[in-house]
Chains A and B, each alone.
Chain A
Amino acid sequence: MNPPPSPQSLAPVRAGLWSLSQGQRLRYLLAIVCMAIGIGLVFLVPAVTKGVIDGLPSDPGPFQSPDWLSRLCTSLGIDSPTTGPLMVAAICVVLLTVAGGAFQYLRGRLAAQAAEKMLERLRVHLYRHIQNLPAGYFDQADTGDIVQRCTSDVDTVRLFLSTQVVEIGRALLLVGCALPILFQLDVRLAWISLAVVPVLMVYAAGFFKSLTRYFRESDEAEGAMTAVLQENLTGIRVVRAFGRQDFEERKFDEANGHHRQATLNLMNLLSLFWSCSDFLCLGQVGLTLFAGGHFVLQGDMTLGTLVAFTQYSTMIIWPVRHMGRVLVDAGKARVSLRRLAEILESPEEQELREAPATVPAQPRGALVVRDLSFAYPGEKGPGAPVLQDLSFELQPGQTLALVGPPGSGKSTFVRLLLGLYDYTGPGGAGSIQLDGLELSRWPLRELRLQVSAVLQSPFLFAKTITGNLLVGRPGAAAEDLRQAAEAAHIHQAIEGFEHGYDTVVGERGVTLSGGQKQRMAIARALLKDCPLLLLDDALSAVDHATEQRIRQTLLRRAGRQSTVIISHRLTSVLHADQILVLREGRVVERGTHQELLARKGSYAHLWDLQSSYTTDSAEGSAEGLAQDPAGKPA
């Protein structure tokens, strides 16, 4: 799942970041300009202070206003000798600070706007991509891990974008200003004051590698921990049912401990990194100071030059030191981006398919399946075959039923029909044609518009009931929603809720029973008007009376819609035009209900099982009450 990032794999990360920054680069540039102006203005304050102090007498006496201040006062029409210039100087200090602050604010604002815009893009991009990943991707991946990448890793990138990008500009600016001055002051000492910089660079670069490795470990541990948390929360009911709280706590504490240790390792590495880089930087300052001192003692340099030099070289060394911080954050951001790229680089499902062909003008729901075989992809190639040599034809408007024990491949067939898995890959063979066009050639969007499905464990979104129904047909009128709900026999239950159709369901909504959820899913599927309806054990949690009523509704639609129905209740399938009995992925019997009964095979056996109690007791209810029902053979 997490291949170690290879050096060449950084290119797409960089390219991705670069394309994300589209339209924001100017903002960043402006932010850097604002920062430069702001710093410049703030640097003027000490100059004003110095002018004032220089002009003050050591004993009471008149204030010797510096030239610029006198000129400023004259132009402002102020002529009092002491109060005026002092007042003006004081106001200058405030104004300079305020103006500098204003630019600082602009810098912060522009940088935040640029960074957040990029992040918004990144988040939306991730969301869109996740939706378009093939269903098989999620069989392998941990939800919690993906969520951690989309939140925590995005946050790491955010930190880099919002603070460090401008800092890089600032460091470059300071170095760029100070370097020429240094060389102007004293060329020899200037070279000396740069002596450590290459060492620092090499050192930091060397560190970068282990830093990214440690950070990746910590990040991956966080992903694993989030996965444990997510799984626990999703399965919390099972945890409770088995009283396994302690077991789960141990499991989480282990993952938590791993994460803690990995982060601690990172911290320890960082403490080493910082103390060493501090040593180098301070060593640099010291080297300059004492080399300069030596020059002064030799008479090669004035003391003033040395003082100025130490001050300016500090201006270089601290930005360089700060580059260390930038580097650390860049390393983290790189790891995070790499992890995000692992998601983003997984091909979307449509990309994995053959070039789409032109869709039939009027899809009618004709289905032709020939020698279809399929095995799910596993880590080591395809696994055991789930479907083998399945063939049938379904005319528009007809109903096909699939029955068979768990694991016989019924649901797999539904997944293939929805284009969730690809039967043209390594584990598959044969063909499925919908309205004469091979399924793999259908554009996925188009294909799914033709198919309405009720899946085995229905998923409702955390929205209102109306919102969930609208999923079936966006823009449907309230009246249509009501009709669909009535057809699925859920309308009454909905009316019983306090907020009716505005009741929030899903993860944090009202608690729906299993049967209610299924009927919501049916209503949603009924709203979607399309040529092919798939019902995968769609009524298993619904009582028989309700089921029968729903079935009648469906039958009224028969002829308009081809239907593939999977059910364990044979009463649900007995009206099908064709019934296929599957076992271990193969068709063992096929025919209509009557034909299959006549054959006295496994279908007939199932039918006997299901009707034995009911028919016996229904017939026997009049006279045979003396029979002991508990004694019936199981």
Chain B
Amino acid sequence: MQDEHQDDDIPRGPARELWRRLYRFALAWPRHLRRVVVFALAVAVADMSFPLVSKYLVDALTAWQTGEAEKPSLWPYALAYLGLTLMLCVSVFGFIRNVGFLKTAMAADIRSQGFARLQRLEFAFFDRRATGWLMSRLTSDCERLANIMAWGTLDMLWASTFLVGIASVLLWLHWKLGLLVLTVVPLLAWASRAFQKRLLTASRRIRKINSAITADYNETIMGVVTTKSFSQEDTHLGQFAVKAAEMRHETVRNAMLSALYLPTVLSIGSVAAAFVMYKGGLDVTRYGLSLGTLVAFLSYTRQMFEPLQQLAHIFGEMQMARASGERILDLLGRPAAIVDSEEVLAAKARAAAAPIDGRADDGLPSRLGRIEYDGVGFAYDSGQASQAKVLHDIDLVVEPGQMVALVGSTGGGKTTLVSLLARFYEATEGEIRFDGVPQKRRSLSWLQSRLGVVLQDPYLFRGSIADNIRYGRLDADPADIERVAALVGATGFIERLEGGFQFDVGEGGTRLSQGERQLISFARALLKDPEVLIMDEATANVDSETERLIQQGLETVLDGRTSFVIAHRLSTIERADVIVVIEAGRIVEQGNHRELMRQRGRYYELHQHQGQQAAGLQLSDWTA
């Protein structure tokens, strides 16, 4: 299976620890938990009392028929029966209501925490995981777990209490025969263990394939246009069908194990019953064991079967839940790699206690100021032993208000360099400093508030254009939104759309063209009014005229702001204060346009290329 490597990192701790951590979610609702127990007890009491009513009624009728008693009245029995019925119904009502509440509350809590955790995890976590894999954990895994935790636990408690009760009665009635019955317990335990191990393995596989299938559905929708344009439907269907068949295979295997488990437990139990029947029968004929005791013994042994069956069933389900629980706890317990350090947190606490004007939430100046890269290196954690280094020894100083342009071949590390600034990834070597303060000593919230990033891939959220621009500053009013839209030259196309700023862009912004999405994404970043603006190919998909309009708008916007610009059209970057040429993860040249042109190095080469193309190549006749 191609996805084999994907889930190897899911820890498989001991079951006790797992359940302990999971039951904390139930303990968060102590009132409902208590009610569940009370109602469950009431259900049990009512359930057990029903046979008593019929028994007393039949006894009374028998007594009357044999002439031992008066003709009985049915009313007291009927009333007792009615009372019990009402009690049972009310308890069932209360029980289901509260268990239902616990179940939904637990599922919602786990989801909410899982989602919050996802918001804190670093980019690198998402680079290696398919959206569908993560989705399945918060949807189907979560649902399954909460379900079994709520309904299964109680059944299990009930069943085990019942079992212990029967065992005590048996020992009390006739300890020798009792012990004989209990000899099968180790056998049962051993069989259960063996089955559970297999069930757990099978369940883990099923949950994993479930994730893969979820991811497949997600991917096939996300890539539907590509699939269509290459007529790859059949290939993909074939690959999916393999997974679907595997899912069936594993589920059937799991079901077969469960189906075998139950009869096995019953068969072992029947051995106990057979022992009792044989030995007890002999004792009755030889040593005068009371027949009543034997009858009681046999009926109790038979009664043992029901809780046994139930336990076997729940244990099977529990294994499924455990596999789901492991996946969820893996997410909940995963430490976020990029967080505020202890020191920063302490500073934030101090600053919150005594806020100073003009200071950030970590008590340091709110200005970001001068940016220094000092020997910065970076390697993506590829999940394998060796790591691919994408940046080496980056030394770069950017004064406040400067415009820095990053140029160089694709894959050279330009995007990574600015990603480190925003702390989307953590530099693996060296450090970045703001006005001399190391990046790690500043709070993440402060850093994010100072930066405005226009990403290479302009992802928009479902909703209106106005909502998407407002993402940059949630309290912005419509006038601000229109202002930034005009600034990036987006007003024209927005007004042509049905509903204008209220036009629904569709999931991911698919109802707009790439260029339009880029403009919206640009406007979104400008609305934030950041101190440092990072533009990663922000205008790659717009025409030069639109780009010129944007640049005119930017003139005013960028005034006094530090900015990082990644672009392939050199025209965009000639006016940069610092041009950094990056090749294969290293800075090969650095300086302004004039200096670099004079050096006649790599930048000059790049420049000549474009110059030639623009100026001279129309002469050559390629069109022939």
Contact = CB atoms under 8 A, between A and B. Distances in A.
Contact of A241 (B453, B496, B597, B607): B453
Contacts of B210: 151
Nearest to B546: A405
Determine which residue in B107, B118, B384 has the highest number of CB atoms from chain A within 10 A of its CB, and name it: B118
B542 to A, nearest CB: 5
Nearest to A107: B259
A209 to B, nearest CB: 20
B577 to A, nearest CB: 7
B85 A282 contact: yes
B223 interface: yes
A247 to B, nearest CB: 6
Contact of A621 (B116, B444, B597): B597
Contacts of B382: 498, 510
A230 B226 contact: no
Interface stretch (A15-23, A329-337, A358-366, A538-546): A538-546
Interface in A69-105: 82-83, 86-87, 89-91, 93-94, 96-98, 100-102, 104-105
Interface in B264-280: 264, 266-267, 269-271, 273-275, 277-278
A453 interface: yes
Nearest to B514: A456
Contacts of B101: 264, 267
A634 B108 contact: no
A405 B545 contact: yes
Contacts of B255: 108-109, 111-112, 116, 162
B266 A97 contact: yes
A195 to B, nearest CB: 16
Given A128-B237, A571-B617, A574-B617, A151 B217 contact: yes
Nearest to A111: B255
B220 A544 contact: no
Contact of A49 (B89, B128, B298, B448): B298
Contacts of B462: 142, 227, 231
Interface string A42-58: 00011001001100111
Nearest to B224: A138
B104 interface: yes
A459 B223 contact: yes
A537 B232 contact: no
Interface string A458-481: 110111000000011010000000
A457 B514 contact: yes
Interface in A580-606: 584, 592-594, 602, 605-606
Interface in A129-167: 130-133, 135, 138-144, 146-148, 150-152, 155, 162
Contact of B224 (A131, A456, A612): A131
A253 interface: yes
B230 A448 contact: yes
A383 B512 CA distance: 13
B288 interface: yes
Contacts of A142: 462, 507
Given A152-B139, A260-B108, A542-B410, A138 B592 contact: no
B96 A297 contact: no
A510 B100 CA distance: 43
A628 B593 CA distance: 9
B604 A621 contact: yes
Contact of B233 (A131, A405, A570, A621): A131
Determine which residue in B139, B210, B215, B298 has the highest number of CB atoms from chain A within 10 A of its CB, and name it: B139
A512 B415 CA distance: 10
B133 interface: yes
B458 to A, nearest CB: 8
B411 A516 contact: yes
A294 B607 CA distance: 107
A610 B100 contact: no
A581 B594 CA distance: 35
A252 interface: yes
Given A90-B274, A108-B256, A406-B493, A555 B96 contact: no
B568 A49 contact: no
Contacts, number: 620
B552 A574 contact: no
A143 B220 CA distance: 10
A541 B540 contact: yes
B537 interface: yes
Given A94-B267, A226-B135, A240-B123, A617 B611 contact: yes
A378 B503 CA distance: 11
A457 B223 CA distance: 11
A615 interface: yes
Contacts of A111: 255
Contacts of A97: 263, 266-267, 269-270
A152 B130 contact: no
A459 B284 contact: no
A303 interface: yes
A625 B594 contact: yes
Given A406-B543, A629-B574, A94 B237 contact: no
B6 interface: yes
A568 B544 contact: yes
A483 interface: no
B551 interface: yes
B6 A508 contact: yes
B31 interface: no
A493 B536 CA distance: 21
A618 B135 contact: no
B131 to A, nearest CB: 4
Contacts of B252: 109, 112-113, 116
A126 B218 CA distance: 12
Contacts of B271: 94
Contacts of B223: 459, 461
B556 to A, nearest CB: 11
Contacts of B528: 242
Interface in B505-537: 506-508, 510-516, 518-519, 521, 524-525, 528, 537
Contacts of B455: 237-238, 241
A523 to B, nearest CB: 13
Interface in B71-101: 71-72, 74, 77-78, 81-82, 85-86, 88-90, 92-97, 100-101
B381 to A, nearest CB: 10
B568 A56 contact: no
Given A89-B277, A411-B513, A306 B58 contact: yes
Contact of B284 (A56, A108, A618): A56
Contact of A541 (B277, B422, B456): B456
Contact of B256 (A109, A151, A275, A496): A109
B285 A245 contact: no
A2 interface: no
A234 to B, nearest CB: 6
B135 A147 contact: yes
B439 to A, nearest CB: 15
Given A124-B240, A151-B210, A507 B256 contact: no
Nearest to B5: A504
Contacts of A497: 388
Contacts of B244: 120, 123-124, 127
Given A131-B233, A606-B543, A63 B513 contact: no
B543 A543 contact: no
A554 B359 CA distance: 56
A347 interface: no
- Give the 9 A-B residue pairs with the shortest CB-CB distance, closest first: A515-B410, A101-B263, A267-B100, A108-B259, A406-B515, A618-B611, A243-B448, A112-B255, A97-B270
19 contacts: A56-B294, A90-B277, A94-B271, A116-B251, A123-B247, A127-B240, A229-B135, A242-B472, A243-B449, A256-B112, A278-B88, A406-B516, A445-B231, A510-B388, A512-B411, A519-B410, A570-B544, A584-B496, A602-B545
